[in-house]
């Protein structure tokens, strides 16, 4: 399938809101060019004791208000632009998310082709341009189910998980605390928290499989305030050789979202079963 490099693009757009701070406003739009708050940069601490994972997560929670996001917002619309690593591919992206774990995404290519990816909370699939429906399985499915979890960061960072700080790591221009979480036997999460702002600069999902680890890396940058949220407007995704950048151009919180968006389409293959 020619659009294969685009299939995983939507997972990023859910991650973008796990570093959020809710406020009283119920909806907002934001366009590129607005002032950026950034994640901040800093040199790695010298001869300083490392904070504990609990302290780092508490700082993250205080900086973002992450626990309250789920209560403040129950639906979200996001619009953005995709760019491939070599700048040869561009696409428009729209996504509707609904609490607790539903997500509908549409990728529109410049040649008129449209691809849809959907998660109904239990399964995830992609609908190709000719109407074929292809379900995700294994680690790819697990990654998308986690990404679709709406609100306080369950899909990226469960604030109650115990973590282990391994040191200070440079992520692009950001000095970060590298924290390892292992919530499940065959799954681990490595999160890189900016040492200055406390915001997340990078997150690695690692799924252990018989044929080796399946890793999904997400890089976050260009944080901006929206509805009291501190949201990354730029992020980079690396998964099984597929590398691309997403730039968010519009966000609306609590729009009306119909459940019919998350219903698996009728297909000829299903009719024959």
In a domain, 273, yes or no: no
In a domain, 78, yes or no: yes
Average pLDDT, the chain: 77
For the segment 86-123, what is each residue's pLDDT rounded down to a tens digit? 777 789 999 999 988 899 999 898 888 898 999 999 99
pLDDT of residue 152: 39
For the segment 23-40, what is each residue's pLDDT rounded down to a tens digit? 333 444 444 434 344 454
pLDDT of residue 155: 43
**Confidence tier at 192 by pLDDT (50, 70, 90):** very high
In a domain, 160, yes or no: yes
In a domain, 142, yes or no: yes
For the segment 5-15, what is each residue's pLDDT rounded down to a tens digit? 333 343 444 44
- Residue scoring higher pLDDT (47 or 36): 47
* Cis peptide, bond prior to residue 100, ω within 30 of zero: yes
For the segment 141-163, what is each residue's pLDDT rounded down to a tens digit? 888 887 887 753 434 556 567 89
Here the CATH number for the domain that contains residue 216 is 2.50.20.10
Q: What is the count of structural domains for the chain?
A: 1
For the segment 225-257, what is each residue's pLDDT rounded down to a tens digit? 778 777 889 989 898 878 889 899 999 989 999
In a domain, 272, yes or no: no
In a domain, 265, yes or no: no
Range of the domain at 77: 4-257
């Amino acid at each position: 399938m020619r659009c294969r490099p685009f299939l995983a693009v939507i997972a990023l757009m859910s991650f973008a809101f796990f570093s959020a701070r809710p406020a009283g406003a119920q909806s907002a739009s934001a366009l590129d060019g607005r002032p950026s708050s950034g994640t901040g940069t800093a040199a790695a601490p010298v001869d300083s004791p490392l904070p504990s994972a609990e302290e780092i997560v508490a700082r993250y929670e205080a900086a973002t208000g992450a626990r309250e996001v789920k209560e403040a917002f129950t639906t979200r619309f996001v619009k953005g632009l995709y760019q491939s690593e070599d700048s040869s591919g561009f696409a428009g992206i729209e996504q509707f998310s609904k609490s607790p774990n539903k997500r509908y995404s549409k990728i529109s290519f410049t040649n008129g082709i449209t691809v849809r990816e959907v998660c109904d909370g239990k399964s995830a699939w992609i609908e190709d341009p000719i109407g074929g429906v292809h379900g995700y399985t294994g680690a790819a499915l697990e990654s998308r189910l986690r990404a679709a979890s709406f609100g306080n960061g369950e899909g990226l960072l469960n604030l109650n998980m115990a973590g282990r700080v391994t040191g200070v790591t440079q992520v692009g221009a950001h000095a970060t605390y590298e924290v390892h979480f292992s919530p499940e036997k065959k799954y681990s999460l490595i999160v890189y928290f900016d040492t200055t702002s406390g915001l997340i600069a990078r997150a690695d999902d690692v799924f252990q499989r018989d044929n080796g680890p399946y890793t999904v890396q997400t890089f976050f940058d260009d944080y901006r305030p929206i509805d009291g949220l501190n949201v990354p407007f730029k992020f980079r995704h690396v998964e099984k050789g597929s590398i691309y950048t997403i730039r968010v151009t519009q966000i609306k919180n609590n729009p009306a979202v119909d459940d019919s968006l998350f219903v698996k389409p009728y297909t000829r293959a299903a009719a024959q079963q």
